[in-house]
Structure 1
């Protein structure tokens, strides 16, 4: 069953979000979180839950929160042909539930909501170090349009520039 998470669901949702964050730790420094940052991370997730242009879809199976997907409507410039972006954010399905169509169901719920809100296209980012994720999104029709690149200017948790 798919439902939209609410602010009262923060603890259960945070547990799912941490699965994704923990999986991504080895991919790139941009995904790493600071030790002892649970409150700050929960506050970030709570902001998303309260944002009127964002929905967090959750898949529940036998009272277990099996997966989640964050979807946001991000208006763009009216000067572009595609000017109303639906953005697919953090998406995760617990390992024991993968391969059962849950990710696709979460995506379809998000796609319907974003389309109903007026999105004329969908975008997302997936780590280049996550070939399973890339294959999943490609199977749903997504294709690359840009190469997202990052250059950290400081060591994480340090105010000095990196060498």
Structure 2
């Protein structure tokens, strides 16, 4: 049975395992941008600070003693400027489910938990970025009701 809970600093090793798998996935997906890393490329203080942020949370999905997924989400506010509407929204920074556990609803449960957390903090929308090469993730987010509002283009230079 998979349970989802907020991460604590003592979860450092579990979090590093999942981020290492995520980093490897990205390195395979986009080698010109990402490279393979060590499991502990994110120092302890970085993870501790991430977990202790007052307007953010990192949820862990666990099956027994094994971490099978995570989501990191935070609250942000757009300034009230003449050309922008002020708004309170959530930003999903990372979502990851172990490849062998995908298709079992864990990602959907992590996203639902993040959505609930964001609503409880007054967010009116959730934003996230996804690499266009990651078609599986694109389809996953679209099935959850996400749609593109900005496209970032890249042109290599000689």
Q: Which bracket does the TM-score occupy, shorter chain normalised?
A: 0.7 to 0.9
TM-score by length of 2: 0.85
* Contact 1:67-1:103 at 8 Å conserved across structures: yes
The runs of 5 or more residues in structure 1 that have no matched partner are 153-161
Cross-structure match for 1:104:
108
1:52-63 aligned within 5 A: 52-63=54-65
Q: Secondary structure at the match of 2:151?
A: coil
Task: Summarize the Cα distance change of 1:82–1:139 in structure 2 as closer, same or farther, 3 Å threshold.
Answer: farther
Count of matched residue pairs: 153
Question: What is residue 51 of structure 1 aligned with on the other side?
Answer: 53
Contact 1:75 1:84 in 2 (8 A): yes
Identify the residue that residue 74 of structure 1 maps to in structure 2: 76
Q: Which runs of 5+ in 2 are unaligned?
A: none
1:51 to 1:30, Cα distance in 2 relative to 1, 3 A: farther
Rounded Cα–Cα distance in structure 2 between residues aligned with 1:151 and 1:32? 20
- TM score, norm. by length of structure 1: 0.82
CA RMSD, aligned part only? 2.3
Q: 1:127 to 1:83 in 2, by over 3 A?
A: same
1:19-38 correspondence to structure 2 within 5 Å: 19-26=21-28, 27=30, 29-32=32-35, 38=40
Q: 1:157 — aligned with what?
A: none
